[in-house]
Structure 1
């Protein structure tokens, strides 16, 4: 699903993109990030409409409703704003939801589910894509790793966590050993059982069995402690915290 974001605050754009990446409703590609009414009008005049638009109301050069007065907006809009007084005006244009900042994963997924509900074609394609991903996903039971000039299989169940630094990935087993892995964390995470492994941040994928306890950290984040030493603190972001809590409470396969 192709989306555009109309927002003049860089932090808000980055936060929304992070939540979009974490959502479990739809696979979303952000094709444009626009900061102003002027930029948005120019984009709509020269580009094919996206599938969905995430739009702040207060932009640097005025209220976003001006965009609808200047060009045809042929896509459903999810308004993302810190102000609640524009809700009625928002639903007079092509709005399907009105989300108050800070945007949460739950509120975003609610908006996306509403989008799919009112777009049968997109809903069917989403179901087909999801089914295809499930059928094609091959869960890895062992990894082929290298030691000196030899390769050997490493059972995934023996792995406490994966860690990446300087573009190198290592698997750390419960016996304290390190094993170089010739895959990125992104690739690994797609192939691992995601009930048993969690992508904590850009540096770590952790095993459920490895989690000793969790500390509250600054900024509504979490700090995860494992049963073996780690090269740096494992911090779960504010955005990922509710996802982590849900994951850690699930039963392991």
Structure 2
């Protein structure tokens, strides 16, 4: 259901233990935080008076060229642990028919996506093409009305950002260390139809003169449908691995959809 925990103490003189790292992100055990903190650079937030503040009281800040500013050092930008997880199994029966399905739900937890970094940096994702907010193809030159404006951003003095950047440079600005790590950290919540099966059992009178006391046919499917997720281009369960390698997605294959047919004989 849920796992509430806190790292109380590490060995003497150490308040953060690196568990796993890749690219510009790391998974850690940090004193005072739940196990599995995600650390990396964050956005810089500025209020309307030009004061650096936090996310709740400011907006993301860009430099004079229109690119996101980032913090000078790594900080906590998420955690791999979900708030809670739940499975809802349901069976509906009518005469010889039985319908079973399992809904899996995860609320919270974060995941870092390398696929998003690559997809936006190389122009493969849908949001890197199309019209900008001025109605011009964003891949056109800024001088011709193209380019991209980072939404809901301010300059370092707190005034609204109006600086458009060339689309190809905007892509490069998302790549590797040119953008805050937090840009690629996403909510890993999901709702999935994990399993569905439809079964039919032969009536008892059909097999009463045989050595069988049950004959059941079943169609079974697993990982059939992601009902809801907060990530646009990848499965939030598709991390590098299990154990200490959770929380980082890097082009991993999503869970395979599978189908099966079962025959159950009872003696």
TM-score, scaled to structure 2: 0.20
Instruction: Identify the structure with the greater strand proportion.
Output: 2
Instruction: Identify the structure with the greater helix proportion.
Output: 1
TM-score, scaled to structure 1: 0.21
Structure ranking higher on relative contact order (CA contacts 8 Å, 6+ apart):
2
